[in-house]
């Protein structure tokens, strides 16, 4: 990972839950850090408002960034003391939002199954995407 590289993701768990998945400068393994929401399960047939809030660390050496996942306005996952980037060039800023869904992994064990263990089709509906500049935004050097 480069000093500008990082990511913060919302992932869905096999049990109908939600988790964060962060790649940061201080990750402890080859893969990102995953934190599952405790005591939360999506309700089948109901729309939920899911939001990811990310604040980058203010200086390369500081671990003052954060990531949070909210479901229907309630915070269900929280990361504090995060060092997303080890430099503060323009490439390290939040510049895009990517959305994709898949059943992760490269082995059959990741495929969706029904209650009897048979492979099954699943459907998820997504809408009303938005990206907002939040109150925690710090102005980059040389920007208005």
* 8 Å CB contact between 111 and 119: yes
Structure confidence at residue 140 (pLDDT)? 43
Phi, psi of 91 (to 5 degrees): -70, -20
* Domains of the chain, earliest start first: 7-110 (2.60.120.200)
Structure confidence at residue 143 (pLDDT)? 39
Q: What is the mean pLDDT of each run of 10 residues along the chain (144 residues)?
A: 85 90 91 93 93 93 96 96 92 86 79 89 86 62 40
Structure confidence at residue 95 (pLDDT)? 81
Structure confidence at residue 141 (pLDDT)? 40
């Amino acid at each position: 990972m480069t000093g500008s590289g990082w990511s913060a993701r919302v992932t869905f768990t096999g049990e109908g839950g939600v988790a964060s998945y962060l790649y940061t400068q201080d990750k402890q393994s080859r893969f990102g850090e995953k934190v599952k929401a405790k005591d939360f399960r999506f309700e089948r047939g109901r729309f939920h408002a899911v939001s990811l809030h990310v604040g980058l660390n203010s200086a390369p050496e500081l671990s003052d960034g954060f990531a949070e996942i909210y479901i229907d306005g309630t915070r269900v996952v929280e990361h504090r003391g995060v060092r997303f980037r080890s430099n503060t060039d323009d490439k390290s800023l939040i510049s895009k939002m990517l959305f994709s869904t898949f059943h992760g992994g490269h082995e059959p064990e990741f495929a969706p199954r029904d209650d009897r263990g048979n492979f099954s089709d699943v459907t998820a509906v997504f809408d009303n995407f938005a990206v907002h500049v939040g109150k925690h935004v710090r102005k980059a050097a040389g920007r208005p």
